[in-house]
């Protein structure tokens, strides 16, 4: 039987990426750095997409 923590690794990585992007976006807003804000927003969206894909992929 496969280890459940290994199976959930893609979902965990996606959640971490989304959280880091959210923090980066917030910092960019606070300091008024549009480039940092936009980069954080893009990273947050990429994490959300990865989480959606990880949840939709068939588990074995």
Q: 14-44 b/e with 16+ CB inside 10 Å = b?
A: bbebbeebbebbeebeeeeeeebbeebbebb
Confidence of residue 44 (pLDDT cuts 50, 70, 90): very high
For residues 31 and 3, give the distance between their C-alpha atoms in angstroms, rounded to a whole number.
Answer: 43
Provide the pLDDT confidence category of residue 59 given band limits of 50, 70 and 90.
low
User: Whole-number mean pLDDT of the chain?
Assistant: 87
For the segment 35-46, the average pLDDT, to the nearest whole number, is 97
Tell me what percent of the chain is helix, strand and coil, each rounded to the nearest 5. 85, 0, 15
Both tokens assigned to 7: 């199976």
pTM: 0.76
Percent of the chain with pLDDT over 90: 65
């Amino acid at each position: 039987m496969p280890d459940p923590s290994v199976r959930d690794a893609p979902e965990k990585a996606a959640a971490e990426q989304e959280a880091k992007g959210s923090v980066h976006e917030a910092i960019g807003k606070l300091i008024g750095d549009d480039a940092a804000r936009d980069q954080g927003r893009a990273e947050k969206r990429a994490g959300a997409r990865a989480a959606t894909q990880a949840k939709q992929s068939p588990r074995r």
